[in-house]
């Protein structure tokens, strides 16, 4: 192998990293993003590991690789890459990617302020607001989201029996609300979130093993959302989302916020048409809305939208050199 060069734009969305690979990603056939995702994972996964793992990335690193879309109704195809694999959809990744792509001229919108991207989970429409050359806000109209299961008892070592709901917003989320055996986020430092979340995820997966009703390639409990009352008076709720092996989302989590709204609507705690401001573990916020009702297979679901900001922090030309013993990246176990 010769040295490979990746032209990246590094950004963060409300605190969570987004490394946008604008050049150097592997060529993939002109098929849907869902199929591209499978081909990438089968044949090119070293690219993800090299760019996401240490020493070029870290435990919370995530990003995207840009592709032309094979759909006539989409401007851009987006492959989500992160430490744990390739997510079907990622909200903070979308907001960072759209910000970088518009500010750097990587995509030319047919209609100013609007884009449609093709994610592996489906088409996602975008509205963005610019001030001068900079993008101030990106709103994504996310894939249909639904509550998959509610009031599920899990026996979690160290916690005892806890109740969770399982909800889908582009990924499957085990949602934990304050209850007898868990008093809330204030009493849970980040180290505890990292320790307890894999146990909750494993127990939820063993009991529920969800499969998306319309796309069996989307399956499994990948994320755990711990919820609490907000600290900021503008917000309706606060959350900390665990993903991968050691990552806590620093943003309010786009697919997580969609899953949370689907849960709240199904439980009649949020109305269709209602707004929902979601606060992250570091106090950043997404402005979310339940845009409408829909169906996911035979389930009732919602059409969620999520808005937030991102900041481009630099250009990053990354080499992966076969002479480097750590070319493929590493993770501490
Ligand atoms: O914003 O959807 C999201 C997300 C998923 C994992 C980290 N962020």
pLDDT digits (tens, 9 = 90+) for 280-306: 999 999 999 999 999 999 999 999 999
How much distance in Å is there from the Cα of 48 to the middle of ligand 1? Answer: 16
Q: Locate 177 and state its tokens.
A: 């609300």
The pLDDT, as a whole number, for residue 252 is: 98
Please report the atom of ligand 1 found closest to the CA of residue 92.
Answer: 1
* Cα dist from 8 to 15, 23, 142, 311, 315, whole Å: 18, 7, 25, 14, 6
8 A C-beta contact, residue 93 and residue 66: no
pTM over 0.75: yes
Pocket test for ligand 1, best of 59, 62, 81, 90 (most atoms within 8 A of CB): 90
Which residue ranges of the chain lie beneath pLDDT 70? none
The pLDDT, as a whole number, for residue 173 is: 98
Determine the Cα–Cα distance for residues 299 and 39; give it in Å rounded to an integer: 30
Pocket of ligand 1 (CB under 6 A): 16, 90-92, 243, 249, 251, 253-256
The pLDDT, as a whole number, for residue 1 is: 74
Please report the atom of ligand 1 found closest to the CA of residue 252.
Answer: 1
How much distance in Å is there from the Cα of 241 to the middle of ligand 1? Answer: 8
How much distance in Å is there from the Cα of 87 to the middle of ligand 1? Answer: 9
How much distance in Å is there from the Cα of 52 to the middle of ligand 1? Answer: 15
Residue (of 75, 88, 80) closest to 120 by Cα position: 88
pLDDT above 70 as % of the chain: 100
* Catalytic residue list: 90
8 A C-beta contact, residue 250 and residue 284: yes
Q: Assess whether the previous peptide bond of 268 is cis (omega < 30° from 0).
A: no
Pocket test for ligand 1, best of 85, 93, 121, 222 (most atoms within 8 A of CB): 93
């Amino acid at each position: 192998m010769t040295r490979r060069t990746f032209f990246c734009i590094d950004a963060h969305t409300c605190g969570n990293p987004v490394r946008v690979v604008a050049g150097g990603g592997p060529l993939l056939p002109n098929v849907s993003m869902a199929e591209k995702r499978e081909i990438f994972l089968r044949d090119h996964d070293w690219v993800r590991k090299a760019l996401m793992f240490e020493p070029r990335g870290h435990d919370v690193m995530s990003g995207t690789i840009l592709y032309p879309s094979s759909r006539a109704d989409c401007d851009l195809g987006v492959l989500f890459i992160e430490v744990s694999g390739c997510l079907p959809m990622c909200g903070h990744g979308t907001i960072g990617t759209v910000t970088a792509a518009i500010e750097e001229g990587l995509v030319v919108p047919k209609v100013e302020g609007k884009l449609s991207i093709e994610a592996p989970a489906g088409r996602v429409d975008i509205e963005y607001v610019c001030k001068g050359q900079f993008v101030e806000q990106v709103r994504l109209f996310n894939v249909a989201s639904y509550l998959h299961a509610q009031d599920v008892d899990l026996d979690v070592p160290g916690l005892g029996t806890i109740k969770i709901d399982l909800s889908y917003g582009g990924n499957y989320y085990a949602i934990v609300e304050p209850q007898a055996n868990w008093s809330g986020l204030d009493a849970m430092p980040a180290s505890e979130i990292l320790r307890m979340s894999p146990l909750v995820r494993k127990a939820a997966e063993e009991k529920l093993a969800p499969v998306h009703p319309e796309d069996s390639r989307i399956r499994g409990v990948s994320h755990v959302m711990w919820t609490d009352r907000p600290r900021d008076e503008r917000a309706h709720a606060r959350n900390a989302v665990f993903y991968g092996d050691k990552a806590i989302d620093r943003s309010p989590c786009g697919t997580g916020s969609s899953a949370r709204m689907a849960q709240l609507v199904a439980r009649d705690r949020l109305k269709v048409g209602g707004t929902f401001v979601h606060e992250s573990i570091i106090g950043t916020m997404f402005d979310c809305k339940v845009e409408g009702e829909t169906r996911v297979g035979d389930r009732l679901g919602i059409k969620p939208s999520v808005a937030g900001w991102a900041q481009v922090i630099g250009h990053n030309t990354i080499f992966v050199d076969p002479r480097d013993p750590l070319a493929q990246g590493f993770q501490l176990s």
